[in-house]
Structure 1
Amino acid sequence: MGWAPASAMIPGLALLWAAVLGGAAPSPPRLRLSFQELQARHGLRTFRLARTCCYEALLVDEERGRLFVGAENHVASLSLDNISKRAKKLTWLAPVEWREECNWAGKDIAIECMNFVKMLHMYNRTHLLACGTGAFHPICAFVEVGQGLEEPVLRLDLRSLEDGKGKSPYDPKHQAASVLVGEELYSGVAADLMGRDFTIFRSLGHRPSLRTEPHDSRWLNEPKFVKVFWIPESENPDDDKIYFFFRELAVEAAPALGRLSVSRVGQICRNDVGGQRSLVNKWTTFLKARLVCSVPGLEGDTHFDQLQDVFLLPTRDRRSPLLYAVFTTSSGVFQGSAVCVYSMNDVRRAFLGPFAHKEGPTHQWVSYQGRVPYPRPGMCPSKTFGTFSSTKDFPDDVIQFARNHPLMYNPVLPMAGRPLFLQVGAEYTFTQIAADRVAAADGQYDVLFIGTDAGTVLKVISVPKGGRPIGLLLEELHVFEDSAAITSMQISSKRHQLYVASRSAVAQIALHRCAAHGRACAECCLARDPYCAWDGAACTRFQPSAKRRFRRQDIRNGDPSTLCSGDSSRPALLERKVFGVEGGSTFLECEPRSLQARVEWTFQREGEAPRTLVPAEDRAERTAQGLLLRGLRRGDSGVYLCSAVEQGFSQPLRRLSLHVLSSAQAEQLARAEEAVPAASPGPKLWYRDFLQLVEPGGGGASSLRMCRSPPAQRPPPPAPRKKGRNRRTHSPEPRAERWPRSASHW
């Protein structure tokens, strides 16, 4: 079927790892913000309930201004403006007898035998539909939430309890996915206690319940359901289809390759009512196709085969949304995650292509070349494509073909044929995704928010480059202090807020932090954040309706050379005087705001006009925090300029004037220091003597820094910082001094 899993091509994959995926470190974000910094400066808010975990279900209700949350034994209603205020909660426990029965079945009564709320849907203008595990006894109920913005209502209607089988999983560890269309619930779930009967199920409403063929691996083979969407097919509602996204074991894989996982998209017609004589109360329009996210290579494709989440981004044509999906890999060779984008036209094209066919156990899967019955299996009964008004009217050969050929031969490939964004070798994997379409000065851009298993959110923008879109990593936000994996994400486009759930809490953060990009036009432009623009005085929220005259923004290229050429808003250059001792070491500190900038050091000797690059040699060690100079010489005295180079644009950050003292001057300084009692009040005499020694007339004391320790007493050079979850953060404000103020640092 034209595919081979990455784990089946170890030699080729090793080459791809080095050549295509890049054995180097993962892409750094331009800005990295810690949990503490987000709380203190950027409005991060959190919500958690006492002795409660597993905040998995999030539902944004823009009309009421509420965020509904499903968790262990609880449903909560939070304010979209501030989830920490006006919170309401209701407790929804499993009955005692259910918990005892769960415990008798061998489950942990304190951990597993609870009611984990897995699903929340807006049912009508006044009620939610909520479903939970019910201590391995799935249950659903309607929750009254009121009609408007008045005092929030949150009340469980105990008279409307529903059997949750086929709607919610039994086991809290199992995934389920569902969508409510009208009064009908379409769900993908394990429908039995043992977690073996996987089904795509329609329930509620007035029509008969339908499901997939049970225990038939051709239909579903140990699937893990991810998302479900209702997507119109035409102007005729009879053509509407429900699309399921899941991963499962590949029935089409060669037996020698073992149990291989693949990602799928499945479809069913909304007006399917099952067959008349065959497939009674079963889907007659179910089809599925492989969803591919891979990097092409000479030795074969490198597949990201584990679908984790899908986000449907509407476009002007409601029939053709974009599908943003995040994948990980099951390969034992490398760890990686990717984002692939799919068009609905490509999905529909795969379902109109050839069917996959296999003659017998020893035969290969091939493209079916025989006669396909009419109406074509997978087509909805409607006047758009035929004369059949119901699936019960389909001929028997159509039903039999549908039963035996649910799999399509052609896969669904991503737009541009490769991932939009990937991270390989990072210490996290992608778990969730949400997207927002943003209007900027030079067009519309899709901004992606990617949740990880390390409690971080990556902010990525899709920009065109070389005829295809690529993803640029703008920010890495540590939204959870305990680094808990992100389990759900929702966006409020009206309020420009992102809501994130994990096992431990719910977090709220703005979609943009314009002030964090810097206080200069060039910094704002280089950030390439479509939410932000330079207004002539600061980096602020971009308003498409505002006057264009004062807005400076270049998302496509991020080139400040033209936009900011006449701008005089650049902050004053930080200047420091640094002193060192001949033969010793000194550290010139300079750390750019952007992690994607390259630091360039230039040097100008005293009394000389030309400025030269500091040579790369053993005596000059470049670190992430600055330049360490060893074995100082008198000729090292001069002015060192630190500049950040990004997108070809150079921006000076700090000017450091280094004075290298002789050993005799250092000894004279030491004797002057020892002559002054430690408890002497007022400024110390040795300090004034030193100023007269190196700079007659004094002055500049507030910016003075001196290194004169003998080698044995000098502090060690700063160690390279380890990569990991507790990484260095970047502050939008001037940095506080990090180095110890000992006798060597003033």
Structure 2
Amino acid sequence: MKQMDRLFVCVFVTLTAGVGLEVTGQPITLLNWDELGVDSFNGSCGDQHASEPLYFRYLVPSHRNTDVLYVGAMNTLYKLNKTSLVCMEHKQINADAQVQRRCAIQGKHLNPDCQNHIRVIMEKDEGKLFVCGTGAFSPTTYTLNETSFDEAEASGRGLGMCPYDPWDNATSILIDNGNPGNATVPYFGTFTDFIKNSPIFYRPSYAVDGVTYSEKSTDMEDTKWLNSKNNLPQFVGSFDEGNEVFTFFRETALEYTENNQKKNYARVAKVCKNDLGGGYMSKKKWLSFQKARLNCSLPGRDPFYFDEIYDIYKSGDLYFGVFYKHGGDLNASAICVYTKAEIEVSFRGKFKYKDSRGVWITLQNDPSPRLDNCTAHDTNPEIFGSQVLAYQLMDKNVPSKYETPIYYKRGVQFNKITVGPEIHGSRNIYVATDKGEVYDIFMKTFDDKKPMVVVNSIYKPFEKTTPIWDMKLEGDTLYMGTDHAVTRLSLDGVCENFSKDKGDGCICNTRCLWCDTKRKCIPTSAKNVTCGLKLDSRNVTDPERVIEILSEKDVVTSPLSALAGSYTRLLVETRRFRVSKVIWSKAMDTSSDSNRVKRSSSSVTLQDCDKFITSDTGDLIIRNVTLSESGIYEARSSDDNRLLSRCNLTVSSSDVKEDLVEVWKQAFNDWSSAFNKWQGCAEGYLDSCPKKRP
């Protein structure tokens, strides 16, 4: 019996502590679709009723009309009411039938590949919409009246403005200041050909007051600018940065040459708005294009890099990016934060270039003149164009703000990210996954140390598993686009669900506050509510006030029975908010003082297989229980000493050998069940079935 006892506990601990990369433990709250107040739109609009997927993969909240949400879908543009998701207007825009046939002949599926997927929607001046669709692998532009959706101008070619392939990422941004001639001009990043051999970051030509400004672009024939290998680059976002435009993407790195292997890198690039261009072909090439690698990694002697960026969100001067690490043995996602200042440091640094031997080295002497500050572009660029066109890649990587991801997790694909406003150093970050979940991550920042990050909630707004391809945050509402529907989730509406958690999730949500008079969680926007004492995200780091509201009387003493010679597990309520380790103690028989139980951290190893073991979720495992282990056990959070759990353990003796045999049979069955569950998760990580990701 002794040998079996040791075998079981050691294997159990290894599985518990060794699996997964999640750094912030279990979510405080897990809310399913039937617990959430959600509304959905599935394409029913007038006489149109959807029976097949319509691929609602592009959402654009209107800046001119606060009640309007534009939705780009397959063959249709929608205008929805933001509050109700009622269809206000729609326009069906099919691809030309002959173009569709040609697309199918070239090896694509007629449905859904050879359809017209709307991937660009911009609000132009004078009440017009600029729209671009994939057009059955023949990108096409449309100019529509934003009220009636009637065509205001004839359709045209959308080369370089939206992708050929509807499953590609693309970026577009309309910038109304700083451009030559002070014009409002769009910028685009996408592929310009059917076989994805010519990627481009591009500003079309335009005319102002009789002056024509030629188009500007990266060099489509030079892979040092944008490397067109492995269906890359894939653009994920662009931003107006004063005199510059930043764009983020992932591509196969030319400079990575180890063991003749290919590796994808996350990049940020910039161009100057007033760039007059250089090189051949009428000065159409950007002179100011520079790109740098984004470093999102777990530090160490051999850093663990999350190399592929899938989305980016700007909040103030901070960029929040979601990254993915592909690997047969480890698929994982991470969130890294970058500052504009650090990005600029990289762009002002030294260049890296490929010498005549094919080796990438650092350029010691800067090209003259340097074009970083965007002031040299309002003069004739011909005298230095040939010099600058040789250098694009920066030598210095852009480090993440906190030198490590603020959150990372194994076995999940993060697709989209959006970030709520910062309130008293706190904010909530929302991340959508390919499984149809939304992670609500609470981040509290401090002046002198790294932020505190907790998975507040995981929302499951859909009855069935479905990838979320686009997500926008507007006020107190999340809008999500899937292949089958557009869904809205009121974030204020989730506050009442946190009342179940005695305030834990409530104080980790900037939109909610805990009302001690009502003993419930309410939205911060609630009117005419009287509370004797309010607790919100400002007080997260004030242990005395937290304990005052979330008093220990809420912790019920749980009875637990065990048989001498067996093992037992004392559980921690996982919904209770905590960041640090759990400390277990056992009340002494002779006094009210506590005697700390021997314990170990969540990184327990086989050498830690002793009497008491703390699992990664904070549960206490006692092996080979004896009569002396009877008593009251308490679990507390080490950061604020808050009571998390209390158990009254009663150990009974047994003189019947068969009883112990049955106990260990049950223990083995429990272990087998846990192992099968773990194995199923592992198979999910190893799943290499191709998925279409935007």
TM over 0.5: yes
Cα–Cα, structure 1 residues 462 and 291, in superposed 2: closer, same or farther, change >3 Å? Answer: farther
Aligned to 2:11: none
Deviation of 1:173 after TM superposition, in Å, equals 2.3
Q: Which is worse superposed, 46-55 or 580-589?
A: 580-589
Cα–Cα, structure 1 residues 543 and 214, in superposed 2: closer, same or farther, change >3 Å? Answer: same
Deviation of 1:563 after TM superposition, in Å, equals 0.6
Q: Which is worse superposed, 190-199 or 266-275?
A: 266-275
The reply on whether 1:184 has 2:180 as its aligned counterpart is no
Aligned to 1:208: 214
Separation in structure 1 between the aligned mates of residue 84 and residue 681 of structure 2, nearest angstrom = 27
Separation in structure 2 between the aligned mates of residue 93 and residue 484 of structure 1, nearest angstrom = 26
The reply on whether 1:421 has 2:421 as its aligned counterpart is no
Deviation of 1:378 after TM superposition, in Å, equals 5.0
- Give the counterpart letter for 1:649 in structure 2: N
Aligned to 2:416: 432
Aligned to 2:533: 550
Q: Deviations over 1:559-612 (max 9, x none)?
A: 43x114554877755567788999999998874423858777777899998887
Aligned to 1:506: 486
Aligned to 1:43: 37
Contact 2:326 2:332 survives alignment (8 Å): no
Q: Deviations over 1:512-557 (max 9, x none)?
A: 53333346766367x5333333232333334699999833245575
* Helix, strand or coil at the partner of 1:113: coil
Deviation of 1:658 after TM superposition, in Å, equals 6.3
Cα–Cα, structure 1 residues 502 and 414, in superposed 2: closer, same or farther, change >3 Å? Answer: same
5 Å-filtered alignment, 1:178-577, equals: 178-182=172-176, 183-203=184-204, 205-206=206-207, 207-222=213-228, 223-233=232-242, 240-254=243-257, 256-275=259-278, 278-295=280-297, 297=299, 299-314=301-316, 321-330=317-326, 334-369=330-365, 372-374=367-369, 376-380=370-374, 385=375, 389-390=378-379, 393-394=380-381, 396-416=382-402, 418-424=403-409, 426-439=410-423, 443-464=424-445, 467-470=448-451, 472-474=453-455, 475-492=457-474, 494=475, 496-511=476-491, 513-518=494-499, 523=504, 527-537=507-517, 538-542=520-524, 550-553=533-536, 555=538, 558-560=541-543, 562-567=544-549, 574=556
Q: 1:78 aligns with which of 77, 80, 92?
A: 80
* Helix, strand or coil at the partner of 1:346: helix
Contact 2:419 2:427 survives alignment (8 Å): yes
Cα–Cα, structure 1 residues 350 and 31, in superposed 2: closer, same or farther, change >3 Å? Answer: closer
Separation in structure 2 between the aligned mates of residue 198 and residue 172 of structure 1, nearest angstrom = 15
Aligned to 2:687: none
Contact 2:33 2:459 survives alignment (8 Å): no
Contact 2:612 2:622 survives alignment (8 Å): yes
- Give the counterpart letter for 1:429 in structure 2: Q
Cα–Cα, structure 1 residues 213 and 711, in superposed 2: closer, same or farther, change >3 Å? Answer: closer
Structure 1: where are the runs of 5+ without partners? Answer: 1-17, 147-152, 234-239, 315-320, 665-706, 728-746
Separation in structure 1 between the aligned mates of residue 614 and residue 360 of structure 2, nearest angstrom = 58
Separation in structure 1 between the aligned mates of residue 165 and residue 280 of structure 2, nearest angstrom = 32
Contact 2:298 2:404 survives alignment (8 Å): no
Cα–Cα, structure 1 residues 256 and 352, in superposed 2: closer, same or farther, change >3 Å? Answer: same
* Helix, strand or coil at the partner of 1:469: coil
Q: Deviations over 1:416-470 (max 9, x none)?
A: 4x1342425x11132222112232xxx2334322222332222223334683433
Q: Which is worse superposed, 599-608 or 72-81?
A: 599-608
Cα–Cα, structure 1 residues 23 and 521, in superposed 2: closer, same or farther, change >3 Å? Answer: closer
Aligned to 1:732: none
Separation in structure 2 between the aligned mates of residue 309 and residue 610 of structure 1, nearest angstrom = 52
Separation in structure 1 between the aligned mates of residue 368 and residue 568 of structure 2, nearest angstrom = 82
Separation in structure 1 between the aligned mates of residue 253 and residue 637 of structure 2, nearest angstrom = 48
Deviation of 1:653 after TM superposition, in Å, equals 5.1
Separation in structure 2 between the aligned mates of residue 620 and residue 354 of structure 1, nearest angstrom = 55
Deviation of 1:633 after TM superposition, in Å, equals 9.2
Contact 1:199 1:220 survives alignment (8 Å): yes
- Give the counterpart letter for 2:397 in structure 1: P
The reply on whether 1:650 has 2:666 as its aligned counterpart is no
The reply on whether 1:594 has 2:576 as its aligned counterpart is yes
Aligned to 1:120: 121
Deviation of 1:215 after TM superposition, in Å, equals 0.9
- Give the counterpart letter for 2:534 in structure 1: R
Q: Of the two, which has the highest radius of gyration?
A: 1
Contact 2:586 2:634 survives alignment (8 Å): no
Aligned to 1:693: none
Q: Which is worse superposed, 187-196 or 103-112?
A: 103-112
Separation in structure 1 between the aligned mates of residue 67 and residue 679 of structure 2, nearest angstrom = 37
Q: Which is worse superposed, 262-271 or 640-649?
A: 640-649
Deviation of 1:293 after TM superposition, in Å, equals 1.6
- Give the counterpart letter for 1:434 in structure 2: T
Q: Deviations over 1:155-180 (max 9, x none)?
A: 25275322111111111222211112
The reply on whether 1:168 has 2:162 as its aligned counterpart is yes
* Helix, strand or coil at the partner of 1:100: helix
Aligned to 2:8: none
Separation in structure 2 between the aligned mates of residue 652 and residue 615 of structure 1, nearest angstrom = 18
Separation in structure 1 between the aligned mates of residue 353 and residue 663 of structure 2, nearest angstrom = 76
Separation in structure 1 between the aligned mates of residue 678 and residue 576 of structure 2, nearest angstrom = 17
Aligned to 1:8: none
Contact 1:114 1:134 survives alignment (8 Å): yes
Q: Which is worse superposed, 588-597 or 121-130?
A: 588-597
* Helix, strand or coil at the partner of 1:31: coil
Aligned to 1:150: none
Cα–Cα, structure 1 residues 641 and 592, in superposed 2: closer, same or farther, change >3 Å? Answer: farther
Cα–Cα, structure 1 residues 45 and 649, in superposed 2: closer, same or farther, change >3 Å? Answer: farther
Deviation of 1:99 after TM superposition, in Å, equals 1.5
* Helix, strand or coil at the partner of 2:103: helix
Separation in structure 2 between the aligned mates of residue 115 and residue 310 of structure 1, nearest angstrom = 26
Aligned to 1:102: 103
5 Å-filtered alignment, 1:597-746, equals: 643=635, 645=637, 647-651=639-643, 719-720=673-674, 722=677
- Give the counterpart letter for 1:373 in structure 2: S
* Helix, strand or coil at the partner of 2:159: coil
Structure 2: where are the runs of 5+ without partners? Answer: 1-13, 44-49, 177-183, 208-212, 600-608, 683-694
Deviation of 1:399 after TM superposition, in Å, equals 0.7
Deviation of 1:249 after TM superposition, in Å, equals 2.3
Q: Deviations over 1:195-248 (max 9, x none)?
A: 111112222643433322221112221142323434243xxxxxx222221222
What TM-score, normalized by structure 1, do the two folds share? 0.71
Deviation of 1:408 after TM superposition, in Å, equals 2.5
Deviation of 1:509 after TM superposition, in Å, equals 2.2
* Helix, strand or coil at the partner of 2:368: coil
Q: Deviations over 1:642-698 (max 9, x none)?
A: 65646443336566696979999xxxxxxxxxxxxxxxxxxxxxxxxxxxxxxxxxx
Deviation of 1:270 after TM superposition, in Å, equals 2.1
Aligned to 2:61: 60
Separation in structure 1 between the aligned mates of residue 643 and residue 61 of structure 2, nearest angstrom = 42
Higher relative contact order (CA 8 A, sep 6+): 2
* Helix, strand or coil at the partner of 2:345: helix
